[in-house]
Amino acid sequence: MFLLLSLSICGLLLRGDAQDRASLWRGNDRSGRCQYTFTVPSPAEASCPLAANPEVEGLKARLSLLEVMVSQLTVGDTQPQGSQQGAGARAQPELQEMLNRVTRERNLLQGEKERLEKELEGLQMRTEEMRRETERLRSRPCPPQTPVVPHSPSHQDRAPIRPAGASSQMSHLMTRPNSQRDSSSLTDSAWQYGAAPGFQELKAEVTEVPAPDGNEDKTGCGELISVGEPITHRKADNIAGKYGVWMQDPEAVLPYGPDMIWRVDTIGTDVRQLFGYDDMEQLSKGFPSKVLLLPDPLESTGATLYRGSLYYQRRLSRSLIRYDLAAEHIAARRELPHAGFHGQFPYSWGGYTDIDLSVDEKGLWAVYSTSKAQGAIVISHLDPHSLEVKRSWETNIRKASVANSFIICGKLYTVASYAAPNTIINYVYDTETSQGEAASIPFKNKYGYNSMIDYNLAQRKLFSWDNFHIVSYDLRLGRQQAN
């Protein structure tokens, strides 16, 4: 059989070779076994119908399977989507309800805000009414049985120089007799609370006054040797007394006596009230005998008194004003050339202390700075009548680096810190020689926020305003050096 088959194959092969229509192929299969393949062209078909390739079939099957899977997944995706849509549809009313609730709450809050705004407005109106009422009560004329402060002949003589309308300006001024000690209706608001404890404090502090020093030069100019302990005269419980300035005229003019003490609270944007006290005792008790309303508002804790006038810097300007206390009107007004104001060149504590005026044995001084001086302290000697600058000195001391300054006998002294309990007077500049030098004189800030320090020629002490407290310091001055 095998032989016949071989012969047939050989025959066919030979015929195939002869006719070129059949072929025999021999080769090893994968297992190495010899395999014969005999091919014969189809006599009828020009080409084979597409043979079913197992791999293609497999791919087709896998593709179909994938299609089924995709279809299932698509269906699966579609179904959950449908479910989500259903859930969304179900959640929509809840969301709507939530939105409605939030909207209601927002409307309630809006209403509450409007109510609070109206309440605030009402409170502001009431505050304004109370302020006006206070003003009205203060400006109410004294009862007929209360004697009015007698005008001295000199005052009468000066009356005609008042400008037209001065009488109406005076209508809001309050006058109390010096002998009247009734505090029922005449206490300065910043000081009317806790008067008794304040007075107790004063009495306690008074015992701390150092004994007079025999080496002190009481008669002429001398160099500062030391500063005594702070002596408290009064404490304010009202925010208006947080900082301010207090003064005494070294050359008082009638009708005010030499013991008269004056005070300005400098908190606020419209500082106009000038409180006068007959003496230190009345100041300590908080009983002013005079309240003047300044025609122009004051800025800075740098005001001072001299020869019957208050000198101060007008708010939001470099204008200096001389306000005549007896005539109760502005006697002079002049710009301090190039001076910074309204926080441009303050002392280090940062309030409105741009222009610091003071008086010493040599007259009226202004301590300030200019853009040209780039923040360094400029000292100007002023004409007390016209406010003209007579002479200026430019120092090397940066104004913002020191807490405050004061001038004694033409020498400027700067205080290093306004807050440190134990600080020093760290620099002295002599206008006589135009020279400055470092110093180290101990100085105490008892209450930690010293907003004003000035030499007071009348008492030859330092006057200071330290965190609601009116404070003074005794001084030791060396004898005047022979020139």
Smaller CB separation from Ca ion, 223 or 454? 454
* Closest CB 248 distance from Ca ion, rounded Å: 14
Q: What is the C-alpha separation between 158 and 168, in angstroms, rounded?
A: 17
Residue number, 202 or 470, with CB nearest to Ca ion = 470
Q: Between residues 278 and 466, which has the closer beta carbon with respect to Ca ion?
A: 466
Name which of 253 and 379 has its Cβ closer to Ca ion: 379
Output 294 or 367, the one with its CB closest to Ca ion: 367
Is beta strand 309-314 parallel, antiparallel or unpaired with respect to 319-324?
A: antiparallel
416-475: contacts with Ca ion (CB under 5 A): 454
Residue 395 or 404: the one with the smaller Cβ distance to Ca ion is: 404
Q: How far is the CB of 157 from Ca ion (least distance, A)?
A: 34
Alpha helical stretches, state H, 224-354: 280-285
> Is residue 278 part of the contact set for Ca ion (CB under 5 A)?
no
DSSP classification of residue 480? P
Residue 458 makes CB contacts below 8 A (sequence gap 6+) with 248, 249, 250, 252, 258
Smallest separation, CB 295 to Ca ion (Å): 24
Residue 470's nearest CA partner among 257, 209, 265 is: 265
Residue window 244-273: x/- pattern of binding to Ca ion, with contact defined by CB under 5 A: ------------------------------
CB of 119 to Ca ion, least distance (A): 43
The binding track of 179-218 with respect to Ca ion, each residue x by CB under 5 A or -, is ----------------------------------------
- Given strand 450-456, what is the order of strands in its sheet? 224-235, 469-477, 461-466, 450-456
Q: How far is the CB of 105 from Ca ion (least distance, A)?
A: 56
d(CA 280, CA 233): 8
Residues 387-416 contacting Ca ion, CB under 5 A: 404
| Cα Rg of the chain, angstroms | 50
- In this chain, which stretch among 112-120, 291-299, 314-322, 348-356 interacts with Ca ion, using CB under 5 A? 348-356
| Shortest spacing between CB 246 and Ca ion, in angstroms | 12
Residue 336 CA, distance from chain mean position: 27
Per-residue tokens: 68: 């089924």
356 touches Ca ion by CB under 5 A: yes
By the 8 A CB rule, do 154 and 325 touch? Answer: no
Q: Are 479 and 217 in contact (CB under 8 A)?
A: yes
Extract the runs of DSSP E, i.e. beta strands, from 214-260.
224-235, 244-248
Q: How far is the CB of 358 from Ca ion (least distance, A)?
A: 6
d(CA 20, CA 13) in angstroms, rounded, equals 9
> Shortest gap between Cβ of 419 and Ca ion (angstroms)?
16
Q: What are phi and psi of 254, to 5 degrees?
A: -60, 145
Task: Report residue 133: phi and psi, to 5°.
Answer: -65, -45
Binding region for Ca ion (CB under 5 A) out of 100-108, 186-194, 353-361, 395-403:
353-361
Among residues 356 and 474, whose Cβ is nearest to Ca ion? 356
Query: Toward Ca ion, which CB reaches closer, 245 or 291?
Result: 245
**Footprint of Ca ion on this chain (CB under 5 A)?**
356, 404, 454
